[in-house]
Amino acid sequence: MKNAKLISGMLSFLGIVMISMAFTIEDSQSSLTLKSDTSSQSTEVDIKNMAASSNIIVKKLSDDKEDSASVVSGLSEVNMEAAPASIVIPPRVEVYDGLTIDELAEKLNRNLGNGYIAGKGYLIANHCIELGVDPYVAVSIMLHETGCRYNCSALVRTCNNVGGQKGAPGCNGGSYKAYSTLDEGIIGFIDNLYRNYYSKGLTTIDTIATKYAQSTAWPGKIKSYVEQIRAN
């Protein structure tokens, strides 16, 4: 009888212990589940925060890059606009009597009149300088021989002979030379001065006159033309 009560008491105690353990295990599982949920939520929040932060950083870097590009572009434009174009001023080259070739040509044109040989100053100046012939003397002889300061002679207007040169082909079958164009006649006249006078040392009006003309008045007339050209 006593043994039966003892066993019954022990079983009751064991049952109470097992029930207590069951409640304890259930509470532990509930606690673990709660912690796991909390941890998951925390992790999700952290990931979202990190993503948002990354987006902000990327956007800032992109904005900074655009700003930098704008600044560089602006600087480039300013530098290009600010850079002045190089201006090279050619040196003044005087070819005769303190004049440039253009100034000499203009001076000769002022003295060639308004007739048949007008406007040929540059051709005369350029060819005379190339050969070393005095351009004032050349124009003076042309004006005297042709009368072109006032009214050009028939020899000039018909056969383009500006210096009274003789030779073939003859103008209208005569002894004076004919040229196809006025430019050819001017070049031929200056070439004749160089070949038959300047290249032989006859470089002044007086020395040229000994071979060019029979009239003793010729040198004085040519000198008068030279002075008029020089003053004009």
User: Same domain, yes or no, for 77 and 110?
Assistant: no
Q: Smallest Cα–Cα separation from 222: which of 101, 208, 211?
A: 208
Same domain, yes or no: 124 and 218:
yes
Low pLDDT (below 50) residues in the chain: 1-2, 25, 28, 30-47, 50-54, 56-58, 61, 71-76, 78
Is 225 found in the same domain as 163? yes
pTM of the model: 0.63
Cα pseudo-dihedral 32, 37, 40, 45, rounded to 10? -140
What per-residue confidence (pLDDT) applies to 56? 47
Number of domains in the chain: 2
**Given this model, what pLDDT does residue 39 score?**
44
Q: In this structure, what CATH number is given to the domain that contains residue 209? A: 1.10.530.10
> Which residue range is the domain that position 77 belongs to?
48-88
